[in-house]
Every structure is written in structure tokens, then in C-alpha cells.
């Protein structure tokens, strides 16, 4: 078996492992929702029977006990985290072997972009969990990453080979690497904003989202908290995307003798920059928040996805390096 084939097998293994992680996180989310519903039912029954809860400063304690403090261990969430780490490591090794097989940096075509971007998104999620409990994102992040990997394997996969002379430059490592990292960060921010929209719609009484099947949304942080987390990630991603455009212009001048040529990829990269710049400006100086800000993020991420797929597959330009045959 050649190194490239081994890399592909590890990618499939990573996708399978992350799919199992998604299932585990979904089970955890469902169980926590059921536990909360049972706790509410028991509390209402106790109140109806005339049994009061301990008051703050009473002999039984100094105040209310947080729900999480007495909650049973979240075994499903633990399994989800363990399998997420395993899947991410497998994906990282697969990317490394892909680079060895091709003899270059492993992000020179759409298949490799997909793998590395997925790896970055998972890394952001896992590292963030070391500082703050954001396991509520687990089912959505692992599900989205699994989808990306499977689509990459089935639609974008190409053999591990060398690259065109124009790409044999250290800017491939810098410019493209930063762009992929920014995309991974934008992915997590998009998930947060999508959950913000859903949670906000449920809180405001949306007929569809108030159904029992969406009780898991009650386990999400408040829309304000979700928006704050998304904003911070988007700010980081925006800085990286700004460097991507600047680095691309420098590379273009070195390779083609001009900084800007209105190539489709250049145009859409600039559109993405404008959308996220408008979002950050509107939120920080114009007071835009809530659903308007969240929809800005959704539109921005849609532009990111189109820049990655549609621009590469539909338009012909100097950046047509998808490698799909």
C-alpha cells in the first residue's frame, strides 16, 4: 500500500470516528434535555404539594445549588470528546501522510483544502473546550466536519501529486495556510450564529421551534452569549482573512507582475472581507446585535463556501487549481 492510499484510509477512519462523536454528542444533548424536563416536572409537583425549596441562608445551605453541580456524569459527552480527539488525530496524520506522498505542503487543491479546513475547525473546538465547556457545539461541529470530509472524499479527491510551477512557492504555505485557518474559525463562528438564530426564535415563540422535538435548544446558552462567542471568533478570522488578501496580493505581484487583477477568486475573497468588515463595523459602532448580526455571519459564511466551491468549479481564472479531473 502506498502512502497516498494509507492517507485516504485514515481520512475515512477519521470521518467514521467523527460521525460516532456526533452521535455521542447528540445523545448527550437529548439526555440533558430529558433530565431538565424531569427536574421541572418534579419541582412543579413539589410546589403543588406545598413543599418549598430551601431558601438562601437556610440551614440546608447558603443558597440554591446549581443544576450542573448535582447532575450525573455526562458519559455520552465524554465519549464524544474522546472520539473527537481520536478523529482529529487520525485526520491530522492523514494530512501529514498526504504531504509526504505529494512531496509538498498538503493544501494545494480542493480535496486538501477540505481536509485541512476540517482539521482546523476541529482543533479550534477541542482547544476551546480546554478553556471553556462548549461541548454543546459538539454534535453540530462534528456533524458539519464529517459532511465536509465525506464530500471531499467523494467529490474532490485527486491523487497526491506535485503542483503547478506557479504554486511552487513559500507563499503557498503562508497565504493558503492562513486562508484555510481563517475558514476553520469562520466555520465554528457560523455554527454559533446558526444556534443563536434557532435559540432566539424558540425564545420568542416560533410555532415550529416551540415543538417538543426542539427542547434541546433550551440547553444552549442564551442568544446573547452565543452572539458574543461568535463575534470573538469572527474578529480573529477577519484579521486572518485580511492577511490572506494582503499575502495573496504580494504573491500575485511576484508571480504575475501585478497586485490585483480582478480574478474571480480575488473578487470573491474581497467580497468576503467586505461582508465580515461590515458585520464587525455594524456590531461595534452601530449597535447591531441579535438576529441582524447573526444573519450577517450566515451570509458571510455562505460567501466563504461559494468562494471555495462555486468559484473553483464554475469560473476559470488564475486560481483554478482545484485539480478535479
Q: What is the pLDDT of residues 34-46, one digit of tens each?
A: 555 554 544 454 4
- Domain extent listing, the chain: 1-42+76-163, 164-325
**Residue keyed to cell 444552549:** 220
- Kindly provide the b/e burial profile for residues 279-309, where b requires at least 16 CB atoms within 10 angstroms of the residue's own CB: bbeebeeeebeebebbebbeebbebbeebbb
pLDDT for residue 47 is more than 80 = no
Work out the number of other CB atoms within 10 angstroms of the CB of residue 122: 26
Residue 229 confidence (pLDDT): 97
**Mean pLDDT of all residues in 259-276:** 91
Q: What is the pLDDT of residues 191-248, one digit of tens each?
A: 999 999 999 999 998 899 989 889 999 989 999 999 999 999 999 999 999 999 999 8
Dihedral sign for Cα atoms in the order 237, 239, 241, 244: negative
24 and 79 in contact (C-beta within 8 Å)? yes
- Mean pLDDT of the chain, nearest integer: 85
Sequence-ordered list of residues with C-beta below 8 angstroms from that of 48, at least 6 positions apart, any chain: none
Q: Could you say which DSSP state residue 133 is in?
A: -
- What does pTM read for this prediction? 0.86
CA dist 76 → 25, 83, 214, 267 (Å): 6, 11, 19, 44
Burial tier of 152 (Cβ tally within 10 Å: 0-12, 13-18, 19+): buried
Q: What is the pLDDT of residues 104-137, one digit of tens each?
A: 889 888 999 999 999 999 999 999 999 999 999 9
User: Cell numbers at residue 190, please?
Assistant: 457560523
Residue 251 CA to residue 262 CA, distance in Å, equals: 15
Q: What is the pLDDT of residues 274-306, one digit of tens each?
A: 999 999 999 988 888 889 999 999 999 999 999
**1-42+76-163 classified as CATH 1.10.357:** no
Amino acid at each position: 500500500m502506498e502512502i497516498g492510499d494509507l492517507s485516504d484510509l485514515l481520512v475515512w477512519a477519521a470521518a467514521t470516528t467523527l460521525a460516532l462523536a456526533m452521535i455521542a454528542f447528540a445523545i448527550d444533548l437529548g439526555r440533558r434535555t430529558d433530565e431538565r424536563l424531569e427536574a421541572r416536572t418534579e419541582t412543579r409537583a413539589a410546589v403543588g404539594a406545598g413543599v418549598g425549596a430551601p431558601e438562601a441562608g437556610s440551614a440546608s445551605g447558603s443558597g440554591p445549588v446549581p443544576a450542573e453541580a448535582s447532575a450525573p456524569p455526562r458519559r455520552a459527552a465524554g465519549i464524544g470528546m474522546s472520539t473527537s480527539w481520536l478523529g482529529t488525530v487520525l485526520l491530522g496524520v492523514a494530512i501529514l501522510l498526504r504531504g509526504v506522498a505529494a512531496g509538498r505542503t498538503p493544501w494545494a487543491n480542493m480535496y486538501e483544502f477540505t481536509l485541512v479546513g476540517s482539521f482546523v475547525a476541529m482543533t479550534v473546538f477541542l482547544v476551546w473546550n480546554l478553556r471553556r465547556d462548549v461541548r454543546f457545539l459538539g454534535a453540530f461541529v462534528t456533524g458539519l466536519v464529517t459532511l465536509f470530509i465525506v464530500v471531499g472524499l467523494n467529490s474532490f479527491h485527486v491523487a497526491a501529486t506535485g503542483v503547478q510551477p506557479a504554486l511552487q512557492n513559500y507563499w503557498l504555505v503562508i497565504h493558503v495556510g492562513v486562508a484555510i485557518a481563517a475558514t476553520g474559525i469562520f466555520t465554528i463562528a457560523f455554527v454559533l450564529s446558526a444556534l443563536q438564530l434557532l435559540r432566539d426564535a424558540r425564545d420568542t415563540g416560533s410555532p415550529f421551534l416551540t415543538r417538543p422535538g426542539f427542547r434541546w435548544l433550551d440547553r444552549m446558552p442564551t442568544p446573547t452569549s452565543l452572539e458574543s462567542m461568535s463575534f470573538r471568533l469572527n474578529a480573529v478570522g477577519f484579521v486572518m482573512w485580511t492577511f490572506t488578501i494582503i499575502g495573496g496580493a504580494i504573491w500575485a505581484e511576484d508571480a504575475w507582475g501585478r497586485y490585483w487583477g480582478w480574478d474571480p477568486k480575488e473578487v470573491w475573497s474581497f467580497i468576503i472581507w467586505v461582508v465580515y468588515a461590515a458585520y464587525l463595523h455594524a456590531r461595534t459602532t452601530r449597535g447591531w446585535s441579535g438576529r441582524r448580526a447573526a444573519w450577517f455571519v450566515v451570509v458571510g459564511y455562505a460567501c466563504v463556501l461559494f468562494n471555495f466551491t462555486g468559484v473553483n468549479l464554475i469560473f476559470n481564472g488564475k486560481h483554478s487549481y482545484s485539480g478535479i479531473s
